[in-house]
Amino acid sequence: MTILILVGGLMGAAGVALSAYGAHADGGNVTTAAQFLLFHAPLFVALGLVGNTRGIRIAGAGLLGLGLMLFCGDLLTRHFAETRLFAMAAPAGGLATIGGWLVIAISGLMSKPR
């Protein structure tokens, strides 16, 4: 799933750029968004390399991607536009991200040993 590797690389690049911005500006939400992107970038690369089950693809491309877009997008919109995406966008994104990690955990239990 090369798209997941691409997304992971873009997340890593955005995370580093936002970390630099946050270090020189009033970090707050920008720093938190940068950390979330950097924490999850390696996961997307790994899912792209070895994520060969349907559950992992759903978690990688679906729940985690959507969750990070909502969570980080809301935090960055608050900082740069001084508004929010919509009410409860960050919490919804956080819950989707947690759900993605749980799907990955469950898919590990259900996978066949090699």
pLDDT for residue 78: 94
Measured distance CA(59)–CA(69) in Å, rounded: 14
Taking the domains of the chain in order of start, what are their residue ranges? Answer: 2-110
Q: What is the dihedral of CA 45, 9, 68, 42, to 10 degrees?
A: 40
SS3 of 34-49: the string is HHHHHHHHHHHHHHHH
Chain center to CA of 109: 22
The low-confidence residues of the chain, meaning pLDDT below 50, are: none
What is the reported pLDDT for 83?
Answer: 95
pLDDT for position 9: 92
pLDDT digits (tens, 9 = 90+) for 9-41: 999 999 999 999 998 887 889 999 999 999 999
Lookup: tokens for 79? 């900082």
Buried b or exposed e, range 1-36, using 16+ CB within 10 angstroms: beebeebbeebbebbeebbeebeeeebebbbbbbeb
